Structure 1
Amino acid sequence: MNRLPRASTALAVPVALGAATFPSLLPAQPVAVGVLLVLSLLVVLPLVRRVAGPVPRLTGRARQAAVALGGALTAYVGLLAVTTQDTMRARIGMAPLSTTDGLTALGTAALLVGAGLGVRAAWRRRTRWSRRGAAIVTGLAVSTFAPASAQAAAPVSDQVLLAPSGVGAVRAYAGLDDSADDAARARIAVDRLRAAGGLDRDHLVVAIPTGSGWVNPEFVAGLERRFGADVATVSMQYDTRPSWMAFLLDREGAVAGARALLDEVTAAVDALPEAGRPQLHVVGESLGATAGQAALLAADASHLRETVCSTFWLGTPGGGRTGLPRETVAANVDDPIVHARPALVLIPSDTDRPWLPVVSGVHAAADVVASLAVPAGAGHRYGDDQPTRLRTC
Structure 2
Amino acid sequence: MSSFEYVAGGDSAIVALQYSFVPSGFSYLVDASRARAAGRALFDAVYGRWASLPVDRRPQLYVFGESLGSFGAEAAFSGEADLRNRTSGALFVGPPNFNALHTEFRDDRDPGSREVEPVYRDGRTVRFSTDVAAGAPPVAAPWAGSRTLILQHPSDPITWWSPRLLFSRPDWLAEPRGRDVLPSMTWLPIVTFWQVTLDMPAAAEVPEGHGHRYTAESVDAWALLLRPPDWTPERADQLRAIVAPR
Partner amino acid, structure 2, of 1:381: R
Query: Does structure 1 retain, via aligned residues, the 8 Å contact 2:67–2:96?
Result: yes
Structure 1: runs of 5+ lacking an equivalent: 1-219
Cα deviation per residue 1:127-146 (whole Å; 9 max; x = unaligned)? xxxxxxxxxxxxxxxxxxxx
**Are 1:314 and 2:113 an aligned pair?**
no
Give the C-alpha shift of residue 316 in structure 1.
0.7
Richer in helix (by share): 1
Cα deviation per residue 1:58-78 (whole Å; 9 max; x = unaligned)? xxxxxxxxxxxxxxxxxxxxx
> Which residue of structure 2 aligns with residue 371 of structure 1?
203
Query: Does structure 2 retain, via aligned residues, the 8 Å contact 1:296–1:305?
Result: no
Query: Does structure 1 retain, via aligned residues, the 8 Å contact 2:91–2:149?
Result: yes
Which runs of structure 1 show a deviation greater than 4 angstroms over 4 or more consecutive aligned residues?
322-325
**Are 1:237 and 2:58 an aligned pair?**
no
Query: Does structure 2 retain, via aligned residues, the 8 Å contact 1:284–1:312?
Result: yes
Counterpart secondary structure, 1:233: coil
Partner amino acid, structure 1, of 2:89: S
Partner amino acid, structure 2, of 1:309: S
Alpha-carbon separation, structure 2, partners of 1:261 and 1:345: 36
Percentage of pairs with the same residue: 32
> Which residue of structure 2 aligns with residue 330 of structure 1?
151
**Are 1:263 and 2:44 an aligned pair?**
yes
Cα deviation per residue 1:134-162 (whole Å; 9 max; x = unaligned)? xxxxxxxxxxxxxxxxxxxxxxxxxxxxx
Query: Does structure 2 retain, via aligned residues, the 8 Å contact 1:226–1:388?
Result: no
Structure 2: runs of 5+ lacking an equivalent: 106-124, 126-145, 178-182, 228-246
Change (3 A) 1:343 1:256: closer
Alpha-carbon separation, structure 1, partners of 2:13 and 2:217: 18
Query: Which among 212, 215, 223 is matched to residue 380 of structure 1?
Result: 212
Residues 219-368 of structure 1: matches in 2 within 5 Å? 220-297=1-78, 306-318=85-97, 320-321=101-102, 325-348=146-169, 349-350=173-174, 351=177, 352-355=183-186, 356-368=188-200
Give the C-alpha shift of residue 256 in structure 1.
1.0
> Which residue of structure 2 aligns with residue 157 of structure 1?
none
Give the C-alpha shift of residue 305 in structure 1.
5.9
RMSD: 2.5
Residues 62-141 of structure 1: matches in 2 within 5 Å? none
Query: Does structure 2 retain, via aligned residues, the 8 Å contact 1:222–1:385?
Result: no
Query: Does structure 2 retain, via aligned residues, the 8 Å contact 1:281–1:309?
Result: yes
Give the C-alpha shift of residue 378 in structure 1.
1.6
Alpha-carbon separation, structure 1, partners of 2:162 and 2:20: 25
Change (3 A) 1:237 1:306: same
Change (3 A) 1:387 1:269: farther
Alpha-carbon separation, structure 1, partners of 2:42 and 2:84: 14
Query: Does structure 2 retain, via aligned residues, the 8 Å contact 1:221–1:384?
Result: no
Give the C-alpha shift of residue 259 in structure 1.
1.2
Give the C-alpha shift of residue 237 in structure 1.
0.7
Alpha-carbon separation, structure 1, partners of 2:4 and 2:90: 14
Counterpart secondary structure, 1:257: helix
Counterpart secondary structure, 1:267: helix
Cα deviation per residue 1:83-108 (whole Å; 9 max; x = unaligned)? xxxxxxxxxxxxxxxxxxxxxxxxxx
Structure ID, larger Rg: 1
Alpha-carbon separation, structure 1, partners of 2:3 and 2:193: 35
Give the C-alpha shift of residue 353 in structure 1.
4.3
Alpha-carbon separation, structure 1, partners of 2:64 and 2:9: 18
Query: Does structure 2 retain, via aligned residues, the 8 Å contact 1:286–1:315?
Result: yes
Counterpart secondary structure, 2:61: strand
Counterpart secondary structure, 1:329: strand
Cα deviation per residue 1:188-224 (whole Å; 9 max; x = unaligned)? xxxxxxxxxxxxxxxxxxxxxxxxxxxxxxxx22112
When normalised by structure 1's length, the TM-score is: 0.40
Partner amino acid, structure 2, of 1:334: S
Counterpart secondary structure, 1:237: coil
